[in-house]
A and B are shown apart, each in its own frame.
Chain A
């Protein structure tokens, strides 16, 4: 199947269309952030402005349409600029870890032998380490901050792509057209790139789009635990962590502070959902057998 056809079918499929629309919606918000929520200090747009120093969250009002979180951080501003953070975290983590996975998996699968053996055992070791704990420990060692969160998640997030890629390469390597390319005198690099990777990339794309959502959630988790974004940084996980003391409501009203949880939580959920929908749709389109 060619790229064009895949794209056309992606648009025709209702589920993926919803996913696509959501992603585009988030994309527009991310791009339009400076106009939707103009920063008061353009040199530090990711710092969420505060509407005072009070402790108790304030409900939505005309001035703060999503209300304010603990510490009077403006939730609307945090959500809008947090969209950029989410995309950045997702693309960087998934991009780099997929790249590492593709590289490792392709070389292991293509060259095989002892090289494959060594590389895949290392992969197994990484897989045996519980992901979240490893990420927490590594971020704690490296120090708080989104950059370190990303480094930690990349370090422990490439193995699935590597395994997937390797199995793809192993099966495609036996294809006659790869042998035929070899028989034409094509070099290893040419064969790997033109004949192997481009024929195996779709399952990787599916896996990557699924991982977009989960990586953003994990990054949010680390922020929630206080080892991610620094306080006041526009990040959805951080926004939720502001709600930690208010989730149970108060004064006989269990949902009094609903906006502190529901709004950032909803943003994360929708963001992940949209990537998963696209991933699912990709899978349906590309490989009926995979279901």
Chain B
């Protein structure tokens, strides 16, 4: 029975059941993003002290829901779509056990809905971290547990699909780099979900009264085993997507398979570490362990990101130079398709992730420097650079690539789409930079009122702190408009985009059945052959192939060094302590 179709434009093969799962997971993610974006409006308009929109109960509820929907539901649903794509589609294989994947998906949906219900009922405004002994309603935790179990089931189906592809010999040689990156993400996900289970299951039992006490510090240490490594899933996933986009748009080949794959491997080897950077200023955590852990042994996972930061743009540069864009250092970059949101989204994500997210993350994860940053608004600024721009904008860029391929619809509103990454990325960058500044002035995160209305004692922030928060909020509003544009374009394209195939429709194969018979007309895809070898010269052996990228990398390193030592200097100015 023919179960595959081939996309005539991209050459990707879609297996029927994988295709519908990619679609539903992506759509569920986008729904969560919509919710997170609407809630972001409440968050920024309250943190903008002059506007101060919501009362405190609502603010904390909205902030809890914003964090969970954005960071957990949006990103993980979308990652499930990426996993099925990277296994079934890229390897041209059938999906291992579609029924199990649907079961996992259903659990995730139930979990996400249950958790949101708990939060919006108003008695579970505990933030995504849900630090004990503050307690949420039992179904808050149960929702998260079901969601995690569902994700685990889908991850296992992904592994199963890899085995099927291997056994049925759908490809030649080793798996492609993108799939390799997805495998690292999936392995990390298994670790993460294990930590999550270890901590959330007892917490749930505590919430329903079966366990009388959970130690607050133990909770923090294990919770961050989940909270931290789940961020490494995102990094591995979005870096894989960067390689994919570089390949699709430019025909880029990895500069070196060995280097890129080793870098992914470093994520696996060192990511269980670094959870300590969330507990650097906690009581009773040993110094040696903190230093070893917060630095991922010796910044080896940071090294891995720095390597990808070079090799992704480097591979684009090499490909562009081969096409003749060889003038100077940067002709290859100037002549890149900046009007194509797939490229601009991915490249802005890469730059903001590296220059802002990466640098601030390492700085605040430094054992002593954390003292002057912990729990200030600097922290959300940092992770909006990593997850809201790095991961989210990358996934947005991927959506623009997938809508024509997967849904066989043309993108509507092309002019808006062209500007969307700049609006979202630019607005976010303003939000991030000004929150970083406000954090340096001591403004607290998760805090309703910079004026401390009703407090017995007073404290006044400098006027500058208010100005910075106001500008940040304006940037945040621009980002929300950018996010709304994304949703408008994607949902609009699914519903109204010009059909690239007569049978294309919103529900095409959505639930496993094709609208028009005969869409799935390939019985067994051709063997996925090795990439062609370059005839001219063996790759990587000669010359300095990517001077422009190298110059950018040096710029990154210099900024990194300067900013790092500025923070030590700032630390040296606070009260001596030890």
A and B part of one assembly: no
